[in-house]
Amino acid sequence: MQSTSRPIAILASDSPEATEAAERLAALYRTVEPEDAEVIVALGGDGFMLQVLHRFMDTGKPIYGMNKGTVGFLMNEFREDGLSERLDRASETVIHPLEMTAVDGDGLPHSALAINEVALFRQSYQAARLKISIDGKTRLEELVCDGVLVATPTGSTAYNLSAQGPILPISAPLLALTPVSAFRPRRWRGALLSRHQVVDVEVLEAQKRPVNAVADHREVKSVQSIRIRESANLRSLTLFDAEHSWDERILAEQFRY
């Protein structure tokens, strides 16, 4: 059994591939419980990585993901050998989550954090009607659409990219505001915002055209309004192999065809 330069804990998703990989790594390396670890090694896919990033947010423990899932954009390549050296050479990225405050149909507030994006989606067969304000100033009186999302640089390659939103370099001080199947104004493709700007979305005809709000894995049904801003204080830490950094992944993704 090998020791690592920093105490590590290994967490795995519930897939057979991930749990088997965790058992093999635990046999090769000395591990500790998560509360005693300096680094968390997460085995799974991007969804599991998000869960682990949420769990250890603001603890100072960096997360080193290795892909044992499907997409794995947030993950490093899985290899059993050389883990200590990979952790020592890995580059650290700081992620500030989005803070969502949604008010439901009963006027009750709901708060949640999002590492990837905060999104609003129509709940019925009718298109949503949304009013969008930035820093208290109305920018769109009416957006008729299937939904709209605010994505961080981390989340810009996830659902935001599928909705034809821009890819943001991880160090860019920006957020992407992206419509989902906009009907009116038909040619509006979204906007790039400063990371410090506050987005308010009011749901017009909320009872007739209900809308749900989703912050990563947390969903609030039938919202009346929602406020989205980047957290100035909270942060998650990720580790990426030096030869395959997050910046390199973002750049490579923009040249895929």
Q: Choose between 243 and 37: higher pLDDT.
A: 37
- CA–CA distance, 59 with 135 (Å, rounded to integer): 30
pLDDT for res 170? 84
Burial 103-139 (b: 16+ CB within 10 A, else e): bbeeeeebebbbbbbbbbbbbeeebbbbbbbbeeeee
pLDDT for res 77? 93
- CA–CA distance, 112 with 120 (Å, rounded to integer): 14
Q: Is 125 annotated as a binding residue?
A: no
Nearest to 48 by CA among 20, 32, 72: 72
Among 57-61, 126-130, 205-209, 248-252, name the one with the lowest average pLDDT: 248-252
Residue 155: pLDDT band with limits 50, 70, 90: very high
Instruction: Provide CATH 3.40.50.10330 ranges for the chain.
Output: 8-95+235-253
pLDDT for res 130? 98
pLDDT higher than threshold 70 for residue 257: no
pLDDT tens digits, residue range 43-55? 999 999 999 999 9
Contact 207, 213 (CB under 8 A): no
Residue 4: pLDDT band with limits 50, 70, 90: low
Q: Is 256 helix (H, G, I), strand (E, B) or coil?
A: coil
CATH class of the domain defined by 98-230: mainly beta
Q: The domain 8-95+235-253: what is its CATH number?
A: 3.40.50.10330
Rounded mean pLDDT of 111-116?
A: 97
Phi, psi of 90 (to 5 degrees): -65, 150
* Mean pLDDT, the chain, integer: 93
Q: Choose between 74 and 204: higher pLDDT.
A: 204
pLDDT higher than threshold 80 for residue 248: no
Q: Is 83 annotated as a binding residue?
A: no
pLDDT tens digits, residue range 83-101? 999 999 999 999 999 999 9
Residue 244: pLDDT band with limits 50, 70, 90: confident
Q: Is 216 assigned a catalytic role?
A: no
Instruction: Provide CATH 2.60.200.30 ranges for the chain.
Output: 98-230
Nearest to 164 by CA among 172, 152, 176: 176
Q: Which among 14, 36, 46, 104 is annotated as catalytic?
A: 46
Residue 187: pLDDT band with limits 50, 70, 90: confident
Q: Is 146 annotated as a binding residue?
A: yes
Q: Is 251 annotated as a binding residue?
A: no
Q: Is 182 annotated as a binding residue?
A: no
Q: Is 18 annotated as a binding residue?
A: no
Written as one letter, the residue type at 249 is R
pLDDT for res 254? 76
pLDDT tens digits, residue range 201-211? 999 999 999 99
pLDDT tens digits, residue range 209-238? 999 999 998 999 999 999 999 998 999 999
Q: Is 188 helix (H, G, I), strand (E, B) or coil?
A: coil
Using alpha carbons, list the distances in angstroms from residue 89 to 15, 86, 94, 202: 28, 5, 16, 46
